[in-house]
Structures are given as structure tokens and as C-alpha cells.
Amino acid sequence: MSQQPTFSIPLAPPDYPFTGRNPYSIQFVIFYDHILSAKSLSESLQKTLTHFYPVSGQLVFKHNRAYIQPCSEPTKLEVVEHSSDERIAIATLPSELAAYSLEVKAEADKPLARFCLHQYHNGSALVVNMAHCLVDGYSFFYFLSSWAKACRGETYRIPNHERDRLLSVSNNKDAGLDDRDFDTAFSQNTGLFIKGERQFPDIDAIAWESFPISHSSLTALKESCLPGKFSDNAVLCAYLWKQYSQRWHPEADPATVLTLNCAVDFRRIYRKVIPLNYFGNAIRGATCQLTLAEMYSLSLAEIAQRLNAMILGQRTTDIEQALASLEAYRETYGMEKMSHLHVSDPTAGLLVTNLSRIPLGELDFGKGQPISLVPLVPAARVALLLPNDGGVTVTVAHQ
């Protein structure tokens, strides 16, 4: 087993919201129609961890700050050998796959990542769960694709772990928060919501729905928004928001304010501070609010136009204000109150996470790409977009 380095990496402000009681994590089960080599995966995992060493870490809290330090137990690939009469069950709904779920919590002295390979006689299922304070969606799949490349004997880009770059920015910027209305200003600056302590239901207790949107269907949706030219992301978000806001609030007051949230990756926007190979969280919540009456009256194009501006309108000053606001929250409420931060409004929000650009070919561990990947997310009012033959698969966790 490779020797892991000694390290102590302070969490950066974008990492803070994913800590505390009932923390967020990112978890997927990845299905293959062939049998993966447990030995090759295990050996390549250890090789990859020498460069992605925070993955083998745990959180240590000191003086109202959190640090990623080496875990007391080594990180390894767990392997479950299923009986010869069991066939791999390819499912699309997370509630049908709850038995695969691995527990990972961003709490003191707990591992920040776990990996488990399920072996069947007709295929394999690889389960990966990583604490969200460790990775955002980009970093999660950056690690996975690098692991796959190592397994194939290929090189990969070495990650950057300088989280203190974002910490130094947050310490040198004014958050512009008014003590008289701290919470409201904080939400405006960060796209996060300060509510009661997070409570997540079990995965199998959530009502899930999954359906495909083909390339031709997506093209038709975009054509319905002409002459406007909007990104695929804006059109898909507008479509889902319009559909589910009406479905979830059929008898609500028309003046009810509804919220849509998207996580915007700011690596390219903020290249003056962090490189594209930055490993960690480099996301800021983007928020759009409309009343229920507007959701009925506005066209898909009008909603997409607002979302397009919201997603593409992120500036470096917005990023810096968000970083400073998160640091101000830590100083005001402490790390123990991070569990009161929500990535979307728990009663009137929808969070859309678009991972449809994930190249499935990069998750090839030597014998071919996966046939499907399913999120195991214990949170409601969430929609995830995943790649599917030129289109997307939408997986929705109902309220």
C-alpha cells in the first residue's frame, strides 16, 4: 500500500455549508455489464490517493475552524462478493438501490470517503460516497476519472489542493452584511438559506421519479424558446421548474414565492485565484425567485431568459462577496451552526444539478464504460441531470 503524506488542509468557505449535523455528501452507484477486477481497482485506488490525498482524510475541528487531516484508518476498497445465483439489478430510482448506500459524514474523526465494489457473476456495481465538504460535482468526477485512468495505466492531471487561496480572499473582502438583516443579505450573497437544522429522510423514504429527455426533445424545447438563444442548462432548468412548481403547489396562494437554485462552478470565472485543476468546492449558489402566479403566466422562454442571465451573469465580485459572506457566517455563528445552511429553500425551492456533460467513457476502468450511474441522494426537492445517449436522464426527489 502506498504511503500517504502528512497534511493539514483548512476548509475553504465554499466547503463550510456541507459540514455540521446531517451533512451533505455526493454518492453514486455506477453499473457495469462486465466484471471489474477488484485487485486492479484496489491497487489503482491507492496510487490515485497519493495525489488526491485529502480523499483519505478526516475532519479535525480547532478554534472554530475545520481541517482535513490524515484519517486514523487507511482508505481502502471494500468488496462484496454476491452469490452465483444473484444477478446485478440495474435500477434507475435511488429508492430501489438504498441497500447500496455507504455512510459518510463530515464530522470529526470520520472518514470523508468510502468505496465499495459489488461483484456479481454478470457485472459489477461500484459505489462511491464522498463528503461534499471534500468535493463538488466536478471534483468528484475528476477523482473518479483519474482513478479510472490509473487503472488503465494512463496518466492524469495532478490536482491542486491550495484551499487557503480562497480563504485568503475571504479574509480580505468586505461581505457587506448588515447586522440588522444578516440572514437575508447572506442568502442574497451566497444562494444559501438559513433555516432550521437540516433533516434528511432515508433514501428509500423519498418519492423518486426518473425519465429521459432525448436529444430531439431537448432541441424541441430550445426551439420553443426562439428567437431567444439560451443554454441547454437554462432551458432544462426552466422546464423542470415550471413543471414541478405547479405540480408541488397546486392549491397554494398565487403570491407564494418559489425559488430555483443552481450551483455554478466558478473555476473558469475565478482563474486569477484558483486553477482549473483545483480539487475541492468551487461553487456558488445562483438563485432565481418567481411567484406561483408568474410560473403559470410566464412562457418557457421568459423563464429561461431569467435563468440564463442568473447562470451566466456570475462575476468575480459575486464570487468574492460569497466567500466573504461565508467567512462572516463562520465568525458570527460558528462551525457548529453550518447544519442550519440549506442549498435550497426546504419548503418552496427546487435545486437543479446538471451533470449531463459527464463523459461516461472516462469512467472506464479497463473493460468498457459504465452502462448507467444513479445518484444516491438523501434529500428532497432535488433534480439531477445525467448523460443519456445524447440526451439527459432526469432524476427527481419529490418533496
Helix (H) or strand (E) segment spanning residue 79: strand 77-81
Contact (Cβ atoms closer than 8 angstroms) between residue 208 and residue 395: yes
Q: Which candidate, 330, 344, 363, places its Cα nearest to that of 167? A: 330
How confident is residue 4, by pLDDT bands cut at 50, 70 and 90? low
State the helix-helix crossing angle for 38-49 and 137-151, rounded to 10 degrees: 120
Query: What does the H/E/C string look like for 369-391?
Result: CCCEEEECCCCCCEEEEEEECCE
- Helix (H/G/I), strand (E/B), else coil: 182: helix
Cis peptide before 227 (omega within 30 of 0): yes
Rounded average pLDDT over 295-304: 96
Per DSSP, the three-state class of 199 is coil
Architecture of domain 9-165: 2-Layer Sandwich (3.30)
Stated pTM of the model: 0.94
- Strand (E) or helix (H) holding 62: strand 57-62
Length of the chain: 399
Q: Report the alpha-carbon distance of residue 374 to residue 214 in Å, rounded.
A: 18
Q: Does residue 187 carry a pLDDT above 60?
A: yes
Task: Tell me the CATH class for 180-397.
Answer: alpha beta
Any idea which residue has 452465483 for its cell? 84
Q: Which helix (H) or strand (E) holds 263?
A: strand 257-265
Q: Which residues contact 258 (CB under 8 A, 6 or more apart)?
A: 241, 245, 249, 289, 290, 291, 292, 295, 348, 349, 350
Mean pLDDT of the 273-284 span = 96
Please give the DSSP secondary-structure letter assigned to residue 82. P
Strands 283-291 and 341-342: unpaired
Task: Give the Cα separation of 90 and 92 in Å (integer).
Answer: 7
Half-sphere exposure of 353 (CA within 13 A, CB side): 22
Q: What phi and psi values does residue 264 have, to the nearest 5 degrees?
A: -100, 120
pLDDT recorded at residue 377: 84
Q: Tell the residue number behind the cell numbers 461553487, with chain if given.
A: 283
Q: What is the pLDDT of residues 169-182, one digit of tens each?
A: 766 666 666 666 88
Contacts of 151 (CB under 8 A, 6+ apart): 40, 41, 44, 365, 366
Question: pLDDT band at 143, cuts 50/70/90?
Answer: very high
pLDDT of residue 1: 45
Domain with CATH 3.30.559.10 in the chain: 9-165, 180-397
Q: How far apart are CA 297 and CA 299, in angstroms?
A: 7
Name the CA radius of gyration of the chain, rounded: 21
User: In the chain, what percentage of residues exceed pLDDT 90?
Assistant: 80
Query: pLDDT at position 360, please?
Result: 92
